[in-house]
Structure 1
Amino acid sequence: MKKLFVGVAILLGIYVLATFTVPPMIEEARNPVKIPPPYEVSAEAKALYDQLDFIADLHCDALLWGRDLTNRGTRGHVDFPRMREANVAMQMFTIVSKSPSGQNMQSNSADTFDNITPLTIAKGESIANWFSLINRTLSQSQDLANFVSKEEDRAIFIKSKEDLEQLLSARKNDLKVTGAMLGIEGAHALEGNLGNLDQVYEAGVRMIGLTHFFDNELGGSAHGQNMAGLTEFGKEVVQKMNELGIFVDLAHCSPAIVDDVLDLSTEPVMVSHTGVRAVLDSQRNLDDTQIKKIAANGGIIGIAFFDMAVGEPEIPNIIASIKHVRDLVGIEYVALGSDYDGSVAVPFDITGLPIIVEGLLKADFSEQEIRAVMGDNVKRFMLQNLR
């Protein structure tokens, strides 16, 4: 019996040690920064950036990795201190609950080994989260609520138009106040249960991507196997999202789902992080017809920062993608959608956002257009559509 207790104690010790060492190692490997900070831009770009009163990003997966986002990190791309350094007014934090082994842009099966399960166990999360997508989702939702609470009056969890107006009012006196919104990447997190939509809404979720890298109960992924449109369950979810006031995110959706949602939705949609096929011809990116339909719907398109969405070199291609949307449908439909901390290599972390301003200036964007891209479009969209 004594040997059994010793054995168990050793195993527990190894597990505890692993929770402190393994997740940071995984995160550092999966979320590299190609150009380390600090970042330098021209005096003109810095002066304009410093005048921006609302900078926003539509996609970040920092909640996945188990970091305390109230502390300035030495790895990854986003946390609250770096958001403040970058004068970011609002960040959309998105929840990843499942990721297929061998994840790729072409074709993935929902039945392969799930990469998030071992990470969940290694982080020392509750056993209830180990094999439950909805529990993982609610746990990450609570994590964000806890971080905002820890930030006290320096951060606001944005769940309504009133919350956003509170943020705008607070930032008139103190630009260190920042806002956090909550989204889900892949509605497989609902586990095929419409009732779980109410749960995530109560937890603060205000955006849901219908699919991620594999087909699910709602329909086909752009990287899945069937390329199907919305299932009957998918239609029910979209309609209920409209009723509740949760934005439909079309990132990673099959072209058929994009069309189905734009026919069905009574509310404007989002594409939280994407590229455009005119710059990089990838099945995860939007073609011109889709961009026009999203604009006609009153939607907004976030341009991602990583090579598989925009190509290499990333920085000029980010600018080219923004320019393409502007030239095709108008400046009011384009925003930033970095995909920070999303298992991607990015050219710079969130403190490097002035590089975008410099790139837009070099591309002859006006100050008003730059303000729109950097955050004013998101602010307007949210004020018009949050409830």
Structure 2
Amino acid sequence: MSTPTVERRRVVTVKRVLLVLLALLLVAVVGFFAAAPGIVEKGMNQVESGPLPEVTDETRALHESLAIADMHSDTLLWKRDLLDRSDRGHVDLPRLKDGNVALQVFSSVSKSPKGQNFDSNSDETDNITLLTFVQLQPPRTWSSLLERSLYHAEKLDDAAKDSDGTLRIVRTSSDLTTLLEDRAAGKDVTGSLLSLEGLQPLEGDASNLKALYDAGYRMAGFTHFFDNEVSGSMHGEEKAGLTDLGREVFDEMERLGMIVDVAHASHAAVAEMLERATKPVVSSHGGVQATCEVNRNLTDDEVRGVAATGGVVGIAYFEGAVCDTSAEAVVDAIVHVRDLVGIEHVGLGSDFDGSVVTRWDTSDIAVVTQELVDRGFSDEDIAAVMGGNVLRVMTEVLPQG
């Protein structure tokens, strides 16, 4: 056999080996990007076991009669189809229907610092950038916080369009009224509303607020876990109050009909926002210092301030908000707000899918109704807590349409 022939065969063999290795590498890469988002989320958004109230038939009937509203979930952050029932996380449309939720607020998380904690975080690192790569999001979201929030709005819009009318996006008070009327008439519809977990997607430019408003955003917290261009965060390094840009944006939000959310803002910023407010504000998700003394919860004075605007304090379901994951701990916080400022100023703000561990997902939200029943709340007060108070604020603040 000639040397050239042997050499050609060697070349062919090497090429085949390289092609096989390339194919294996491609399979591995595809497998990684297919599996990694689910693996990451399963480690972040968990439902743990633990005692729960047994929901009676009578309470179930009451629960099914309620207009339930939850002021905060981070579901849009994750690579899941909102219309499909998932085996991970806390919220999707099928589970919202199981829980009889009338309206779910979906928050856009655009940046999260590494080593995130309640006490002090810088703005120099970001966990979400890697997540945008792993989840194969559009390249425009890799480096722009504004584009990340616009992408989240597109995800919700696409889900609503593909839902055959069963998922609606609420942008105006008229949208909300129609949603509630249709549900009362027996129609299979669930509402959604877009919110921002911090105003860092403005990227320091007040004009970007209109772009976010046009994309459907109708609620916004000023900060997340770090100080930004509009405000200090309760968990930031400086923890300062509102900036000049923050004051400008606050006033524009009120003019547009966007709900101001004081969650995660520094105590100095919360005080200034409550003083500046001419419309009801909310604390969308968290707890109260009186029942869980951690640096993310509202003081009694802040609860009084939210109530003075006509607003609502949303109680979350995870340990960092209520120092436990039990229904009892959630209702302890609700009872405190009721006793302090009145039943009309407390509601639900689960923080589902927000990298938290809870004892139930949204399909089992009736356990909260049962705990309220067990504590002796009247049907009227239960209806207020489970959604009536939040829906009242939305009706008052959202644009008429």
* TM-score, L = length of structure 2: 0.92
Partner in structure 2 of residue 264 of structure 1: 276
Matched, 1:338 2:350: yes
Structure 1 residue aligned with 2:128: 116
Q: Distance in 1 between matches of 2:49 and 2:323?
A: 16
1:56 is the counterpart of 2:69: yes
SS at match of 1:152: coil
Please state how far the C-alpha of 1:43 moved relative to its aligned partner. 2.8
**Structure 1 Cα separation of the partners of residues 212 and 51 of structure 2:** 36
Q: Decide which moves more: 245-254 or 42-51.
A: 42-51
Q: Indicate whether 1:192 and 2:204 are aligned.
A: yes
Counterpart check, 1:366 vs 2:384: no
Give the conservation status (yes or no) of the 8 Å contact 1:37–1:349: no
Q: Tell me the alpha carbon deviations over residues 307-365 of structure 1, each in whole angstroms, 9 at most, x when there is no partner.
A: 00101253211001000000000000110000000000011000111110111111111
The corresponding residue for 1:19 is 33
Query: Alpha carbons of 1:12 and 1:261: their partners in 2 closer, same or farther (altered >3 Å)?
Result: farther
Q: Please, what is the CA RMSD of the aligned residues?
A: 2.0
Q: Alignment partner for residue 78 of structure 1, among 47, 70, 91? A: 91
The one-character-per-residue Cα deviations of 1:4-62 (angstroms, maximum 9, x if unpaired) are: 9998876655443322111100110000101399994123322321222x111000000
Q: Aligned AA for 1:102?
A: G
Name the counterpart of 1:99. 112
1:224 to 236, 250, 260: 236
State percent identity of aligned pairs: 44
* 1:164-198 alpha-carbon deviations (Å, 9 max, x no partner): 12211211222521101000101112111111111
**DSSP-derived class of the 2:80 partner:** coil
The structure-2 alpha-carbon separation of the partners of 1:243 and 1:4, relative to structure 1 and needing over 3 Å to count, comes to: farther
Q: Does 1:135 align with 2:147?
A: yes
1:1-387 superposed matches below 5 A: 13-35=27-49, 40-52=54-66, 54-112=67-125, 114-387=126-399
Relative to structure 1, is the Cα distance of residues 15 and 140 closer, same or farther in structure 2, using a 3 angstrom cutoff?
A: farther
Alignment CA distance shift 1:21-1:328 (3 Å):
same
Which one has the largest radius of gyration?
Answer: 2
Change (3 A) 1:360 1:60: same
Moved more, 147-156 or 31-40: 31-40
* Change in CA separation of 1:3 and 1:108 when aligned onto 2, cut-off 3 Å: farther
- Say whether the 8 Å CA contact 2:198–2:224 is kept in structure 1: yes
SS in 1 for 2:381: helix
Give, in angstroms, the shift of residue 242 of structure 1. Answer: 1.1
The number of residues matched between the two structures is 385
Residues 15, 122 of structure 1: 8 Å contact kept: no
- In the alignment, structure 2 segments of 5+ residues that lack a partner are 1-14
Counterpart in 1 of 2:12?
none
> Distance between the aligned counterparts of 2:150 and 2:265, measured in 1?
23
Cα contact 1:95–1:137 (8 A) shared by 2: yes
Cα gap change, 1:120 to 1:10, in 2 (>3 Å) = farther
Matching residue's letter, 1:294 = V
8 Å contact 2:222–2:265 — kept in the other structure?
yes
Amino acid in structure 1 at the alignment position of 2:184: K
TM-score normalised by structure 1 residue count: 0.95
Match of 2:357, SS state, is coil
